[in-house]
Structure 1
C-alpha cells in the first residue's frame, strides 16, 4: 500500500512539474524528519510573477492533500529555503509533503517523506480518515469512524489506540472508565469540499474567500467558507467569528418527553432539561446561502450558494452549514 501511495504521488508530481513555478528538491523521497531537529526546505525558483510564497506542510493522498501547517509565510521565492524545527505535536507519518507557492496554479510539490515525532509511526496507514497518520497530541483519539479528536465521542467506545497519540484512548486530562463510554455523536463531517487544492485540517480549519486554509480571523471571519472548512465550522479557537448580521436563527418546536437537543454550527449535540413542560424547542443557527436563507421547499445550499431541492443542490458540493436544518437531504 505504501509503495502504491509513493508511486501515485510520483506520477502526480511529475505531471505538475512541467508547469510548476517551483521545483522542491528537499525533502525528497526517502527523507526522514525527526522530532526536535531542524531542517531546510529548498527549491528552485522559476517564478516570474510572484513576489512572495508560502511553504506548507501537507499530508494525505495526492488527490486530496490536507494542510497541516504553514512553515514559512510570505517569504521571497528567491530565498529558496525555509528552515523548520519539528515540534512534538506533529504525529508520526509516512505521507507528508511540502508545497511551495503563492497561488495554486504556481504550486511546486515535494515527494512524499516521513516524519518521526514523539508518537509511533502509524500502522496500516494510520487513522483512516486522517491521511495515513497517527493522531496528534491536540487531537489524540482515533474514533471508530476514523477521525482524530479530543472529545469523549472520539476517545470512548470504538477508539483505536494503535492510531491514537502515544497509543492511548484518553480525553485530555481525563481517564475514562468503561461505564463512561458512549457512542460517537460529534464526529467531523465527511462531505467537506476542497479549499483550493487541499482540504483544511484541524490545525488550520478555516477556508478563506480566496481558498486558503488558516486559523486566524483573516481566514475564519465573515468571508470564511464553512462548506470547505474543517467540520464545516468557521471558528477561531472553537469560537465562531461570524457576526449576528451574517447569521439567521430558526427555531423548530418539537414535542418530546426526553431532554431537548440543541444543534449549532459546530454540529456538537448537547443535552438540556425542558424548563416547563414536555415541550421543548430545538434551536439551530445557520448561515445565509448567498443572499437568502434556504427553506423547507428549497432546503439545500449548493457550492454556488444557491438554494434548491434536487440532487444537483443536495448531493456533491452541498453546504450543510447553510442548508435548511443543517442537512443536505432531499
Structure 2
C-alpha cells in the first residue's frame, strides 16, 4: 500500500461504523414539504422546511435530495434549522432543461428557489458536482451564501481531468473511464445498470466509488442506479473542463472541504489545491472513506460540520 501524503493542516479523522444508515425517500420523516418552483430553466423540485439558519443541500451526479438522508439521520434531522434539499435541473424529479448543463443557469435556478421560499441567506452543503455548484453560487451570489461545505467535492483534479482526458487516464482513471463510457452509451446506460442491479452485479460496478460496497444498505445502491444521469454527467464534466477555477479566489465566506482518503473521483491533493485558491479553507480527511462521505461516514461529517 502506498502512503498518501497529506498537508499538516488537514484534520485527519478516524471514522466509526461504515454506512450505518439507509437512504430514505420519505420526506415526512424530516417534516419536509415538496414544492415545484418555476425557474428560468424549467421547474425545480425542492423538499424543504422553514427554520432558522437554513441549509441548502446540493447532491452529486448520482444523487437527488434523498441521498442526503443518511446525513439527516446522523444529525438528528439537523435540529430545528431550515432545510432546502434541491433536485438540481435534470436530476431526481426535476425535468432536464432543453439545453446542456450550465453553471450560471443552475445558480440562477437556485437563486429563484431561495427567493420563492423567502430565504435570504444559506449555508451550502454540496456533494461531488454539488460542491462545484456550491462554490460557483458563492462566486455569483456572495450575499446569499454564508458558508460552503464541500463533501467529497470534485474540484481541481476533476476539472483538470475533464480538460485533459488522455493524461487523466493516469491521474484520475475512474472518472475518466466513467466519462468515456457514459459518453458512448448515453442514456442507454441506465437500463443496463438496472439490469446489473437485478442480477446482483451492481456492487462490482459501484465498488470503485465506495470503500466497502458490500457493507452498504441496498437502498444506497438502489439510489445510485436510480439517480445517475449519464447525459447530465457528461454535460457537467464538459462544464468543469471550461470553468475558470481562479474565480474561486473571490470567495470570502468560510469554506470547509471534507474528503475521503480512498476517493477515486477526487484526490487528497485537491485539499491543498483548493486552499491555494481559497486560503480560509478548513480541511478534513476521513479514513476508510470513498466518494460518498455523507453516506459512508455521516456521523463524522455531521460532527465535523457542527451539525450535531
**Which structure has more helix as a fraction of its residues?**
2
What TM-score comes out, normalization by structure 1 length?
0.25
Structure number with bigger Rg: 1
**Which structure has more strand as a fraction of its residues?**
1
What TM-score comes out, normalization by structure 2 length?
0.26
Which structure has more relative contact order (CA 8 Å, sep 6+)? It is 2
